[in-house]
Structure 1
Amino acid sequence: MIIRLFLAAAIAILVCSCKDAGTEPSPAPASPDTTHTWPPYIVRKPNIYLYPLQKQWTSVEITFPGGGKVLESDPPYGAGWLVEADPNGLINGKFSYLYYEARVNNLFQFSSGWVVRQDTLADFFSHVLQSAGFNDKETGDFLEYWPPRLTSSPFYLVYPQQKEDLEKMIALRVTPAPDVQLRLTFVIRAAVTENAVLNSPRLIKAVRHGFTLTEWGVVIE
């Protein structure tokens, strides 16, 4: 009799334990770690130039439709730039352009581009920038900074990202709105030979008039 009671009690405890285990909530799935989800695409040294018809306060906000963030800026970007722009291009009485760098998702176009020999980069970029509508000052700023930093490879693949390409990744909200926005960024990839076969890009030349905004930048792959 004692043995039967002991077995009954043991079974009751086991059943109770199983029921309790079944009613315990399942642990919540761990939240994904989004701390380091940015891909390694950094748009380096984009320069934004502003040429209003008269001295005016201008608001410039950068947005990232495909995801992204501002990494560096000068003057400091904060929640956006509010600057006094002069018709001669001077900003806040001392800056020639708004500078920033940004990390973005890879929505770049790679369907058309050029294969360029390293020793011809300066002439190449000078021709392309002026053909797109950049002035001598803007072109000179680009040539002063970038060709001297592109020396590690005998050839480079250059993929132009024009305004419609860039707006998928980096959109500019400018108030008052410019009459013309000329934006061009180059994705540059080192190459050991000139054998790559690329479709020839069709550059759209901007006709500058009224309040004009221009911007160039580079992505090094």
Structure 2
Amino acid sequence: MVAQLLLRKGGAIRSLSIAGMILALLFVAFCLAACDPDVRKEPSNEKPVIYLYPEQASVIDVTLEVEGSLSCVYPAFASAQPTDTGGTWRVFAQPDGTLTDLSSGRELGYLFWEGDAGFSPDFSQGFCVSGDDMRAFLEDALSKLGLTDREAADFITYWLPRMQENPYNLVSFQGDAYARVACLGIDPEPDTVIRVQMAWRPLEVPVQIEPQELTAPARNGFTVVEWGGTQAE
């Protein structure tokens, strides 16, 4: 009788030990998957905003299509069948950039969207900037990239609070790779388009990186400006 009880207890202990080992292995696998960059969520494009500066007050259609998906737009698309990958805004735009959404009648300073555009940032060139120097760096960089003081202020007041507390930040402004996955169609066609997409990641220690040359086209005629950012892991 005692032997049978001992056997039963031993079997129960072995069962509990095996179950514990399985749970431990599952936990380790979960942690490894969470740390695996291949299974992390793609970085999102945060607060891309679009300014319109026509030479004369006019109705303008702005169509956005992304390879990924949109999580939020404002105002709502005016197109009859918007999707989670794009749609069309219709606004009445003034030369000073004031917009009126023709669907709601609301006055706006810009068009807003956010989501996963479906691209991986390129950090082959860029800048390593200390948190203390971010304010001056952004003011200088955004001027070189063609933003006005007002546009730069909108950019800086959104991103600076998240960057200035880091010891360092790796920053690279994205070009054609971003434009290919976040396509803008504008009617009537603008004369000048300036798109500023900043990719960045916080760093604990500085790194060496090939400096990036920053340029912008001259603003001529009907001008469209967009800026946004992506925080990479």
What TM-score, normalized by structure 2, do the two folds share? 0.73
| Deviation string, structure 1 residues 83-113 (Cα, Å, up to 9, x no partner) | 1111000010621111110212234322101
Q: Does 1:219 align with 2:230?
A: yes
Larger radius of gyration between Structure 1 and Structure 2 = 1
Tell me if the contact between 2:170 and 2:203 (Cα under 8 Å) persists in the aligned partners: yes
> How far off its partner does 1:132 sit?
1.2
| Deviation string, structure 1 residues 111-140 (Cα, Å, up to 9, x no partner) | 101001101111111100011111111011
Task: Choose the corresponding residue for 1:146, options 143, 159, 170.
Answer: 159
Task: Choose the corresponding residue for 2:121, options 108, 113, 123.
Answer: 108
Query: What does residue 119 of structure 1 align with?
Result: 132
Counterpart Cα distance in 1 of 2:216 and 2:180: 20
Q: Does 1:193 align with 2:201?
A: no
Query: What does residue 10 of structure 2 align with?
Result: none
Query: What does residue 55 of structure 1 align with?
Result: 57
Query: What does residue 169 of structure 1 align with?
Result: 181
Return the letter of the residue paired with 2:132.
D
> How far off its partner does 1:167 sit?
1.5
| Deviation string, structure 1 residues 8-44 (Cα, Å, up to 9, x no partner) | xxxxxxxxxxxxxxxxxxxxxxxxxxxxx99422100
Return the letter of the residue paired with 2:69.
K
2:45 alignment partner, SS class: strand
Q: Does 1:85 align with 2:93?
A: yes
Counterpart Cα distance in 2 of 1:103 and 1:199: 27
Q: Does 1:181 align with 2:211?
A: no
Tell me if the contact between 2:194 and 2:224 (Cα under 8 Å) persists in the aligned partners: yes
Gapped runs of 5+ residues in structure 1? 1-36
| Deviation string, structure 1 residues 43-85 (Cα, Å, up to 9, x no partner) | 0001111000011111111112xx2122111111343101111
- Pairs within 5 Å for 1:21-100: 39-64=41-66, 67-77=67-77, 78=82, 79-92=87-100, 94-100=107-113
What TM-score, normalized by structure 1, do the two folds share? 0.77
1:42 alignment partner, SS class: coil
Counterpart Cα distance in 1 of 2:119 and 2:223: 28
Tell me if the contact between 2:42 and 2:120 (Cα under 8 Å) persists in the aligned partners: no
Query: What does residue 10 of structure 1 align with?
Result: none
The CA RMSD over aligned residues, in Å, is 1.7
Aligned length: 181
Which portions of structure 1, spanning 4 or more consecutive aligned residues, are displaced by more than 4 angstroms?
none
> How far off its partner does 1:142 sit?
1.0
Query: What does residue 24 of structure 1 align with?
Result: none
Gapped runs of 5+ residues in structure 2? 1-38, 101-105
